[in-house]
Chain A
Amino acid sequence: MDDRSFGAEISEVPEEVRVRLRGDLNGRADETLANAYSRVAALGPRRISLDFGPVGYINSTGIALVVRLLADARRDGRHVRAIGLSEHYREIFRITRLSDFMEIVEGDAG
C-alpha cells in the first residue's frame, strides 16, 4: 500500500463539518476531494474545516483543487477554514492569497 495516497474523512463536530485530509494533495486527489465536498454539502454545514495535519505534500495542482473546493463552498454560502497546515504551506496559502478567502488556523483544532 502507498501511504501517500490521498484520503478524506468527514466528521461532524459542533457547529461545523470537519474534513480530515491525508496523503499527498496532488492531481490524483481530484475525485476524492470532489466527492468529499459533495458529502459535506449534503450535511449542510455553515462552516467546513479542512484539516491538513496528515498531508505531507501539496503541489500546484493540489492548490487548484483547494481553490475549486473554496469556490464551491463560497457559492453555497459556507465558510471554509484550514487547520493543521505546516508553516511552509501556510506561506504558500499566503502568497497565493488563499488565506484572504479562508481562515488559516495555526495548531490542530482552533
Chain B
Amino acid sequence: MSRRLARPWVRPAPSPPETVPAEAADERGIDMQGPRGQIKVEAEDVQVTFRRRGQEIEAVRDFSLAVREGEFLSIVGPSGCGKSTFLRLVAGLESPTSGQVRCDGKPIRGASADRGMAFQQYALFPWMTLAANVDFGPRMRRLPKAQRRERVERYIRLVGLTGFEDKYPHELSGGMQQRGSLARLFANDPSLLLMDEPLGALDAQTRVLLQEELMRVWEEFGTTVIFITHSIDEAAFLSDRVAVMTRRPGRIKEIIPVDLPRPRTFETRGTETFAKLEFEIGRSVREEVDALS
C-alpha cells in the first residue's frame, strides 16, 4: 500500500484537472496524460541512419516518445525495428542522425552512470569476481572505500547472491549472472534503467522467476525503466505501459497502458485482464510482423 502512495502515477488514476487532458496523446505517441506528467525521457522526431557495407539503413524514423518519471515502459516490436537503437540513443552510445533525445529536459551527450544499461549477453565482466563487478560503478565514481564495501554487500544481498561474492561469472548459472548484473546496475543508483532484453538468454522458468525478482527490486527503488523485450507476456507482466513499434524504419505505433494492480505476482498471469492485454499487444506486433513478409 505504501508503495502505491510513493508512486501514485503507476496506475491511471482519475486525472486531476491541472494535468494535460487525455486527448493530448497524439498520433506520434507522445502521451502527456497521467497525474504527475513529469517527463524523464523524451524523443522528438528522431531519425537514425546507419551505413553498413556501403548501404544506407534507416533504423528509426519519425520516432517520438515520452517516458514518464518512475514508470516502467516496455518497447516491443518486430525484429530489427530499431528498439535497441532507441535504447542506445538514450544510453548515449549512439547519436541521432536528426531529431533529439532528451533526458531530464537536456539533450543526451555521451554515456553516463546515471543512465545505466543492462545487456542480454556478456552482462558481467568475466575477468572480475561478482563483488568486483558490482563494485565497478562505485569505483569509477570514486566513492569512499567503506561506502563501496557496504554497497557491494547490500546489492549482492538484494539479489540473493550473498556467499557468491568471490565467484567469477563463469562459475555462476545464467540466472545468477543476470541477477548479478542487476546488482551491478543498481549499485550505481542510476535514475534511469535501460534494459535491452536482459532476460532474453534465460530458460523459461528462470526467466519467470527473474521477472518477479526484477519487479520486486524495481518496486523498491521506483526508478524509471525502459525495457526492451521480444516477449509479449514479459512486457505485459512488468510494465506500466507497453510501446509497440512498427517495422523498420521503426516508430511508435501505439502505446498500450497496462491496468494491472501492483505488486504483481505469479497470480497476475492468470487474470482475464492479463490475457486480454497479452492478446492486444500480441496482435499489434503481429500486424507489423505480417506486413514484413
Q: Are A and B bound to each other?
A: no
